[in-house]
């Protein structure tokens, strides 16, 4: 039978592998490095009890973008989106021109280069090496 004992000395930490930085290039010209969980909309706010790492506000006087239009998740260098039951919907366009209409609360994985339309606005997903992303972040409006 195996017996466990406390470790002697400090247990070495496993270094976290730094992957590429996920950047959203917004149609309004902003370049937004993102990680974790993100909400995008005219006035995005999390649901009760929901933890969000970042909020991205879209200036949209025409109100084509919902208050909290969609969620974006970044996990180990991969990106997904989820429409938050927006009024005008969310459409993903892939590099080959194929389009995906996102159903409310359906998680859709995005490859680098995919474009996402939300109302009259949108963004393109880009992956950058850590050296490329350093020091060039735009403010989060």
What are the domain boundaries of the chain?
21-133
Six-digit token pair at 139? 């403010």
Cβ contact 39:52 at 8 Å? yes
User: Do 28 and 58 touch, CB atoms closer than 8 A?
Assistant: yes
* 64 phi, psi to nearest 5 deg: -80, -20
* 25 token code pair: 């290039």
More confident residue, 76 or 49: 49
Q: What is the pTM of this model?
A: 0.79
pLDDT classification of 140: cutoffs 50, 70, 90: very low
- Asked whether residue 133 carries a pLDDT value surpassing 70, the answer given is no
**CATH node for 21-133:** 2.60.200.20
- % of the chain at pLDDT higher than 70: 78
């Amino acid at each position: 039978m195996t017996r466990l004992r406390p470790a002697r000395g400090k247990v070495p930490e496993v270094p976290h592998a730094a992957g590429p930085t996920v950047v959203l290039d917004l149609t309004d010209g902003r370049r937004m490095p993102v990680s974790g969980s993100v909400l995008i909309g005219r006035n995005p706010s999390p649901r009760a009890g929901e933890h969000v790492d970042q909020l991205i506000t879209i200036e949209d006087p025409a109100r084509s973008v919902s208050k909290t239009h969609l969620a974006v998740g970044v996990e180990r260098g991969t990106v997904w989106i989820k429409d938050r039951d927006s009024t005008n919907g969310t459409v993903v366009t892939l590099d080959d021109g194929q389009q995906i209409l996102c159903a409310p609360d359906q998680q859709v994985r995005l490859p680098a280069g995919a474009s996402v339309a939300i109302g009259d606005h949108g963004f393109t997903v880009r992956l950058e090496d850590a050296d490329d992303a350093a020091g060039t972040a735009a403010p989060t409006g």
